[in-house]
Structure 1
């Protein structure tokens, strides 16, 4: 009897399809894929690794020195609309000396614009007076685009790319704090003349006194809002980030906290999360990390020494800070909007001590990546982003532009001794494979195409691949000088990348022009 049962089980197993247990191949289509996580990769081989890269500082983009701006200006948002770049930011000033810390003026929303994303101007809009008068009848030669209540603290606009968006709601925004009992919504047809949409807050659970962000997510066909959040109720636990969703921008889900698998607990201000415009199925985030340190002798000696003393004296009675707190910029990514791969190493460090950015309030990244021309002729465009510096210092508070190569946040990297990475099974459309990579003079990148089981396809092994070397954001892969992959389109394959002293930033299947 036992023998017959064993035979029957063996026959059943042998009769099952061989694909049982195998995952469906990932349909890439023609989208670009970045190496910001390992979700597309099998375990790395050799000395291959994922490497975080860092932005390069450029010129000062904007000095926040107008009477309605000042040392607490910030939470900037940049929107690229064709050849026009728009910037929105809070104008505000605190008085530190003599203590206690207090507001010098009410908060306002300011506007700047640029034709190239590099040179910015503050237009005289003539919308709101400064200093404020009861009936808005005063001097209006300023760049104030909104003046109101709590929403001016963190007014966060975005360009609504929802195809169903009304023309008079082409631009939308959220803003508000606990004093407004949550986040209010706003809309504008031209990005300059704004009106309040919601009479009451649309999201009420959270802390909000940070840069809360929102966008239309084309991948999931919904609006997504990221807000300031705490890991425990009643504003206890870790400073964190919450997420809420809506299909109509009017009714929102209850925020839930983000998760960070394999990353230790850390204090997060801001979030700066948005779909990456070159690969919108991937969300990239640039939160500010808050690090509370004891006021040691070394901490007291870090520049800006005098500002640190003034700040500590101005808030000492609250007991909230020691004056040794420091903020820096981080990087994270997600494919579902809730679980994020967060790098524990800084994306932007506070920098050299003499530059005076080792203080709470500096190194906050603005919201929005935008593409700009490179400084040299014949070079590909770069991604620009802003960080603030000079917080609490009227004479120094400003936004500095930084740049990073296209897709250049994280690379698949290997040293000269080499490393290999193989993808999970995928399908694609198109007939060419394009890579964004950089090598040393002695380095190289090669690509093999394998079947779903991992066996090299004839003519597409590593030894068939023509060696790639150089530094380019768009190079077509060839095998024996041939690039055509149309015969493989729609067929489950794997890609195997062999690197030697090289960084591979992204890949994409494209169609020949």
Structure 2
């Protein structure tokens, strides 16, 4: 029996509450009232790099806001100015293959139905992702000449939305080092393979994802993407469907790229609830190259019927008729697997630029994949000036990991993580401060108590702007004694941005 004396000066309601708690205590086990139960969520981040793009690891924010960092305009990357390219080029993919950057995009000089025989796929190369060249491949004839950069033709309807990938699955056969999918609702999604990214053939005649296997009325008519997930140990495919009259995204998985699971309709989360359902024309989901467990989606948000230009403005830029009745931009979503995207930021990631040419239908559609284009820089590419003689691919840059950040004002703020475990020897942060700003890091136990040696009073203030800065305390930087133990990270930030952090095990 448990005896508890409650002083008379305690208010009546509090005394009643205390008695109720005491009556319940005999039915509670020790594990149910301990500060951190074994069943509580402790997130194992191992030595993964974690970006500040969602709230998965965040327990509390004080005077800190999560901000979306919009990319910087770097100008035209590639003009679609050849006769076999033209106004309706689109559905581009950028692949960084070692020291070589590969670009694939649809060639379509004339408007036509989806999957018509006049659609081809073109190819360009770059050594830095900035300056691009169009090699003469001599593979397919156009108007009597093979001196062109057409990499795939006579393959309709695959050439409507051909979407290649560099297969990173361990021990993938050399002749299937590159894979691709493409097709429309009439054909289903057809798989193709290549040893070099130039010469392509069908993996099999039958579609790998058949139309009848998808329980929706309309599907596949935009760019559909696939990749090998090292974290899920499966191939993933994200493809477009219509559900309730809105362009939505489905996800399917496969062990062999031939047999795919029943599709799952993706949902959208925002601040613990549901995000608005908007038309997403392409999803461009792919593993982020510095944190491949995190899938980044720079999706094309389509606003049907949201017309900006007058007929006179459309005539002035010579846009193809009926291709100025809608608007579109790029939005940022992330996923860590499963049937959900996190739409932490609902606003536009890349807004349409100044000028009428940026406010036409189906412009500003992002290319698939974000790639590193400098020691501290990465780039995303957008198809712009669609249905116009100036149709081209545009490049935008941002700092590595710089999609979003935890930002504190001059008065300062704090970010506290949920309990987590890690493996590694040092903690590294990607951050930027003002001259007066700083970032300090305290490591706490799971209950929130500072761990001796890692308390805020013992941390070394971090000032500067670096992609990978090792955090130190008075004793040094070694965090090995804390490996595998539940801890919390307390970031105390002043006039600074925190983009990512990682426990480095190298």
Fold shared by both chains (TM-score > 0.5): yes
Shift of 1:73: 0.6
Q: 1:436 to 1:360 in 2, by over 3 A?
A: same
Q: 1:425 to 1:94 in 2, by over 3 A?
A: same
Q: 1:309 to 1:218 in 2, by over 3 A?
A: closer
Q: Does residue 1:238 correspond to 2:252, yes or no?
A: no
Q: Does residue 1:158 correspond to 2:152, yes or no?
A: no
Q: Does residue 1:120 correspond to 2:128, yes or no?
A: no
Q: Secondary structure at the match of 1:10?
A: helix
Contact 1:94/1:104 (CA < 8 Å) preserved in 2? no
The partner residue of 2:237 within 225, 228, 239 is: 225
The partner residue of 1:75 within 85, 88, 91 is: 91
Partner of 1:36: 53
Q: 1:11 to 1:101 in 2, by over 3 A?
A: closer
Q: Please, which runs of 5 or more residues in structure 1 have no aligned partner?
A: 132-137, 316-322, 374-379
Contact 2:114/2:221 (CA < 8 Å) preserved in 1? no
Shift of 1:86: 0.9
The partner residue of 2:190 within 170, 184, 205 is: 184
Q: Secondary structure at the match of 1:152?
A: helix
Q: CA separation in 2, counterparts of 1:104 and 1:189?
A: 27
Q: 1:65 to 1:250 in 2, by over 3 A?
A: same
Pairwise CA RMSD = 2.5
Shift of 1:11: 4.0
Q: CA separation in 2, counterparts of 1:216 and 1:105?
A: 30
* Shift >3 Å, 4+ stretches: 6-12, 14-17, 19-22, 100-105, 301-310
Q: CA separation in 2, counterparts of 1:299 and 1:149?
A: 33
Partner of 2:285: 273
Shift of 1:490: 1.8
Q: 1:160 to 1:302 in 2, by over 3 A?
A: farther
Shift of 1:59: 3.4
Q: Does residue 1:263 correspond to 2:280, yes or no?
A: no
Partner of 1:376: none
The partner residue of 2:71 within 50, 55, 62 is: 55
* Pairs within 5 Å for 1:52-451: 52-94=68-110, 106-131=118-143, 138-147=144-153, 148-180=155-187, 182-203=188-209, 204=211, 205=214, 206-232=218-244, 237-261=245-269, 262-293=274-305, 295=307, 299-300=309-310, 304=314, 306-307=316-317, 310-312=320-322, 323-342=324-343, 343-353=345-355, 356-373=357-374, 380-394=375-389, 396-451=390-445
Q: CA separation in 1, counterparts of 2:22 and 2:353?
A: 70
Q: 1:303 to 1:365 in 2, by over 3 A?
A: farther
Q: CA separation in 1, counterparts of 2:465 and 2:258?
A: 46
Q: Secondary structure at the match of 1:260?
A: strand
Contact 1:466/1:481 (CA < 8 Å) preserved in 2? no
TM-score with structure 2 setting the length:
0.88
Shift of 1:381: 2.9
Q: 1:231 to 1:278 in 2, by over 3 A?
A: same
Shift of 1:44: 1.5
Q: Secondary structure at the match of 1:252?
A: coil
Q: CA separation in 2, counterparts of 1:285 and 1:417?
A: 34
**Count of matched residue positions in the alignment of Structure 1 and Structure 2:** 475
Q: Does residue 1:10 correspond to 2:25, yes or no?
A: yes
Q: CA separation in 2, counterparts of 1:506 and 1:157?
A: 29
Of the structure 1 ranges 199-208 and 496-505, higher mean CA displacement relative to structure 2 is found in: 199-208
Contact 1:307/1:392 (CA < 8 Å) preserved in 2? no
Q: CA separation in 2, counterparts of 1:448 and 1:110?
A: 52
Q: CA separation in 2, counterparts of 1:173 and 1:104?
A: 19
Q: 1:26 to 1:15 in 2, by over 3 A?
A: closer
Q: CA separation in 1, counterparts of 2:120 and 2:255?
A: 30
Q: Deviations over 1:397-421 (max 9, x none)?
A: 1111111100000111111222211
Q: CA separation in 2, counterparts of 1:294 and 1:162?
A: 42
Q: 1:461 to 1:20 in 2, by over 3 A?
A: closer
Q: Please, which runs of 5 or more residues in structure 2 have no aligned partner?
A: 4-20
Q: Deviations over 1:438-467 (max 9, x none)?
A: 111221111110001011112322232211
Contact 2:115/2:156 (CA < 8 Å) preserved in 1? no
